[in-house]
Amino acid sequence: MAFDKKIFMENVERIIKERCSNKKKIFNKAIGQRDAATRWLKETEVPSFKAIIKICEVYDVDIGWLLTGKGEMSRLDNILPFDYAIKLADEIIAEAPIDFNAAQREGLIQILREELSKRDGEIKGKAKNWLAVMSGGKK
């Protein structure tokens, strides 16, 4: 994965526009770096690896997309539902007050996969309805 500074800057601008109400101050505060966006966008400074990782964590963006523009913006868009179900199950198990055995873990993963599939359909349906409203009923 090669770092492309121009694409990185374009992607930082997109994050600021879409997720920070177009305010660099919000972006900088969220990643814990004063004036970082201004310095990077003016090309007076290159972001540290730590800052890049922080952007990905805070704004849930894929590092490949951030650095190269390839793939999907959201990390979740690059994870298969099955992989995401495993990730969720392991997070739930880690916080659970009881011990889970392998069979219980597999059962939880199955439930999460089914729920994620349902939710995916609901989200797509809502998005299509919203698009229809926004386009004046045109498809």
pLDDT at residue 2, rounded to an integer: 67
What is the DSSP track for 40-90?
HHTTS-PPPHHHHHHHHHHHTB-HHHHHHS-S-SBGGGGS-HHHHHHHHHH
CA dist 28 and 36 (Å) reads 6
Q: Is residue 36 part of a domain?
A: yes
Compute CA distances 110 → 64, 86, 90, 121, whole Å: 29, 9, 13, 17
122 three-class SS: helix
99 shares a domain with 62: no
Counted domains in the chain: 2
pLDDT, residue 12, reads: 94
CATH number of the domain enclosing 9? 1.10.260
Question: Averaged in consecutive runs of 10 residues, what is the pLDDT profile of the chain (139 residues)?
Answer: 81 91 89 90 84 87 88 67 70 78 81 75 68 64
The pLDDT assigned to 16 comes to 92
Residue 139 lies in a domain: no
